[in-house]
A and B are shown apart, each in its own frame.
Chain A
Amino acid sequence: MISLHQLLLLSAVLFVIGIAGFITRRNIIIMFMSVELMLNAANLALISFANHSGSMDAQLIALFVMALAAAEVAVGLAIIITVFRNKQTVNVDELNILKW
């Protein structure tokens, strides 16, 4: 039986990997995947807590998060495609028209 503690540790590790990936990677698609990893880490935490407390509420939240993450993917990929059409790149460092 996996304990709550271990599950939370796993979710924290996933969340930190997500943050690290978002900050260090320069490829937009990989940054985007890192964000998805963070959302899934949160889902894992929600489900572990729900399992621990025997309440269904958090499982419901996890379902909503999945739906919203899917919507986010749709919008995000659309934006990435328009960027790629205009600039022929998915590297954030090359997106530098706007800066002070």
Chain B
Amino acid sequence: MSNSFEINWNLLLPEIVLVTAALFLLLLGVIYRVRAGGTGPALAGAVLSLAGLVVCAFMTLAQWDTVSGTFHGMLRIDPFATYFNLLFLAGAAAGVLLSVREAGSLRGVAGEYYALLVIATFGMMVMVSAADLLVVFIGLETMSLAVYILVGSRREKAESNEAALKYFLIGAFASGFLIYGIAFLFGATGTTQFRGLAERLATTDGGPSGLQLLGLGLVLIGFLFKVAAVPFHMWVPDAYEGAPTPITAYMAVAVKAAGFAVLLRLLNVGLLPLASYWLPVMWTLAVATMLVGNLGAIFQSSIKRMLAYSSIAHAGYLLVALASINPLAANPADDRALLAVLYYLAIYTLMNVGAFGVLIYMGTAGRPMDTLEQVRGAGFRYPLLAAAMAVFMFSLSGIPPTGGFLAKFYVFSAAIDRGLISLAIIGVLNSAVSVYYYLRVVVQMYMRESEEPLPALSFSLPVALAILLSAWGVLQLGILPSCLLDAAGRAVQFLR
């Protein structure tokens, strides 16, 4: 850290591109508000936001070898940040693609809708590049505020309002815990920078003070709300069900990945000296989260709500990996738990985008696809869509040769490596339970007849593209995972 006021803006080029795209999108909204509407603004918004995301992705990709800090050590661009930035951009692009079909219902707010999607992604990128708790907080709020509005973007629908309100109230409540925790960590150590925090925490004589542990606990509560770990999961089913489906997909993949990414960096850099305190917490929460998520999902008749509980269950599997982190590993790239989290989140993104994409494709304007009864007979009426859905359901339940299987395999083998045999057994049993409710969707599609004739679906290129790419990714990375694992391995090297 130098005292000069030199800031390397080049490192922030991807973020600058995103914000510029968002500003143009807002402008677009205003211009089209003046002229008459139609589907024009929605399409223009989608094209512009996709262009921004793609340009940003190429710039991020160009940073793959960069390891550097800027803004006086407040931000840190390294392969870990780049890996997750690419994941968020992919999630956002999927969100845009899935939105195109429902864009007619956006009416006059298409510009703002896409702008908020882009701004939320910007917030995530700031969050995962942060090397200071203050920057984490700012990124987190930028993301959250944008997503609250997106959840409520169907202003005329009471479900959407209700979901936004519940998500907002609980999210704001969680931010209160987070900032209070940051205050205590600052009080206990005199710094909010991750590296400084680790140094001061490691050199405390006679174990950590009560103030430090209080700060740790409050900060963890703040983040665990965001990643939907039990007992901080109450908002998930409501927010996921009430939100427009493309936004549900975006929340399930990008918001969750952002929460885990920042948790990984915080735990592995700033709070590593307190590992003996947070590892058991992760263990307990992993068990509770897997149980609640899987048991809740069994009883759902709405597929969207089932996928919401499934996302809680998957947070549980990811917490198993966090509980298996080896704080003493000399080289973080050798820690299989870290690799497992990165691989898992990438696969999780693909399979959720795919599953929600199929739901969106199967629904029509007058008949949104939601309950299990509605997919009856889809296997014969829409063979390609049903086949894709089956792939995603197999992958979510962890059946080979899909990516979902390898992801779970890496997580549980990491747990066994660390001697957490009971945790791995609980995880595998939970995974077996989850097969029931995932395969129920497949059974309904292929082995039940529909009571009413299923409507003909109009072809939608963007949604089809999202589904196709996800299905290809899930299978490709399930059979040949090495390229993703190499990238993840390089990313985690810079974690400590």
Q: Interface residues, chain A, CB within 8 Å of chain B?
A: 8, 11, 15, 18, 22, 28, 31-32, 35, 38-39, 41-43, 45-46, 48-49, 52-53, 55, 57-58, 60-61, 64-65, 68, 71-72, 75-76, 78-80, 82-83, 86-87, 92, 95, 97-100
Contacts and interface: CB of A to CB of B under 8 A. Distances in A.
Contact of B168 (A15, A18, A65, A75): A75
Contacts of A95: 162, 165-166
7 contacts: A18-B176, A31-B169, A48-B187, A53-B190, A57-B191, A98-B166, A100-B296
Nearest to B301: A100
Contacts of B183: 11, 42-43, 45-46, 49, 58, 61
Interface size class of B (residues with CB under 8 A): 35 or more
Interface stretch (B134-142, B340-348, B471-479): B134-142
B159 A45 contact: no
A61 B138 CA distance: 10
Contacts of B137: 61, 64-65, 68
Contacts of B157: 86
B149 A75 contact: yes
B145 A71 contact: yes
A77 to B, nearest CB: 10
Contacts of A35: 169, 172-173, 175-176
Nearest to A65: B179
B241 A98 contact: yes
Looking at B138, B159, B184, B187, the one whose CB has the most chain A CB atoms below 10 A away is B187
A16 to B, nearest CB: 11
B303 to A, nearest CB: 14
B213 to A, nearest CB: 15
Nearest to B157: A86
Query: Chain B interface secondary structure, helix, strand, loop or mixed?
Result: helix
A68 B186 contact: no
B158 A60 contact: no
Contact of B158 (A11, A41, A87, A92): A87
Contacts of B77: none
Interface string B125-164: 0000000001001100100010011001001111101111
B162 A64 contact: no
B172 A46 contact: no
Contacts of A57: 186, 191-192
A28 B161 CA distance: 13
A61 B141 contact: no
B173 A38 contact: yes
Contacts of B71: none
Contacts of B190: 53, 55
A83 B157 CA distance: 9
A83 B162 contact: yes
Contacts of B141: 68, 71-72
Contact of B161 (A11, A18, A38, A82): A82
A17 to B, nearest CB: 12
A98 B183 CA distance: 35
